[in-house]
Amino acid sequence: MKKRFTVAAVILLAAATASAGVRGSWSVVIGSGWAGGALGTAHNSADSMQYLEIQTRKSSASLYARDATGKSAMCTTTDPALVANARAVNSDSYVMFYWDGAGACTEILIETASQTEPKAP
């Protein structure tokens, strides 16, 4: 009985510790031909510059980003697979997108995870 209690206590303690969770903060960053960041981090940022915006329509998507310095980027696509990726975004998503010289999206990466900073209510 004592051994079962000890095992149960260890499992419950581990579960309680795990429930606190890991939280990360990813500000908007814009590079050469790419941009990325977490929607929640952009929304909760102390500056009034950062934002990420994803617009989807019936058969197209447009992605916009602006970092804390005011640098901005955007791309658009009609590629069905990329439009589907853009539709997968929610307030707990990390978004990264790439574009070519014409401003067409070439890749849209979406990560939705518990550690991504959520949008504040």
Residue 82, in any domain of the structure: yes
The domain tally of the chain equals 1
pTM of the model: 0.75
Q: pLDDT grade, residue 59 (50/70/90)? A: very high
Output the domain CATH number for residue 95: 2.40.50
The answer to whether residues 29 and 53 touch, using CB atoms and an 8 Å cutoff, is no
Q: What average pLDDT score do residues 9-24 get?
A: 44
**Could you give the percent of the chain with pLDDT greater than 70?**
73
Residue 77, in any domain of the structure: yes
**Domain of 68?**
22-112
- How high is the pLDDT of residue 57? 96
Q: What is the pLDDT of residues 78-120, one digit of tens each?
A: 999 999 999 999 888 899 999 999 999 999 999 887 666 565 5
Three-state DSSP at 14 gives: helix
DSSP letter assigned to residue 104: B
